[in-house]
Amino acid sequence: MSGPPSFVVVAATCRRTAALPRGQFGHQREHVIVEDRCREATVVYAADLGRAHSMAKAARKAGGDFVLLDLHVAVAESMTHLRHLCAAKEAREAHSRAQNRLVYCGTESGLRSYLADLARLGLADGVVVSSVG
């Protein structure tokens, strides 16, 4: 049996909601589809990359051999749309308690760069991407 690809991007199914309450950080085992196969993964819920790094290390020490970061993504079609998405994101964050999700708000090319940076950092084996906005 071969291992997982070096860095995977898993699309969340059915507009998946947070498995952990929004104010709670941590990691948990979940089933994800990778290359048409159901795999068990440890999914890390964190609001920033520093916390994600710490939790991913802890998950690996606890036996997580396939660790994914949970990532919410809002991709803008234009600069006007980007300004609208970012303003809406800031308004939601101002009126809510701590979020437990990494969030990317930007362009498609920026998202590709962000994912490449995550892969280079080696924080996890990949991401579970949920679309927002």
What's residue 113's pLDDT? 95
What's residue 111's pLDDT? 93
pLDDT band at 10 (very low <50, low <70, confident <90, very high): confident
Give pTM, 2 decimals.
Answer: 0.78
Count: domains in the chain: 1
Residue 3 lies in a domain: no
Average pLDDT, the chain: 79
Q: What is the DSSP letter of 7?
A: S
Write out the residue range of the structural domain in which residue 82 sits: 8-131
Residue 1 lies in a domain: no
Residue 126 lies in a domain: yes
H/E element holding 11?
strand 8-11
Residue 41 lies in a domain: yes
pLDDT band at 56 (very low <50, low <70, confident <90, very high): very high
Residue 2 lies in a domain: no
Residue 15 lies in a domain: yes
The candidate with the shortest Cα–Cα distance to 52, out of 125, 102, 12, is 102
Segment 64-75 shows an average pLDDT of 88
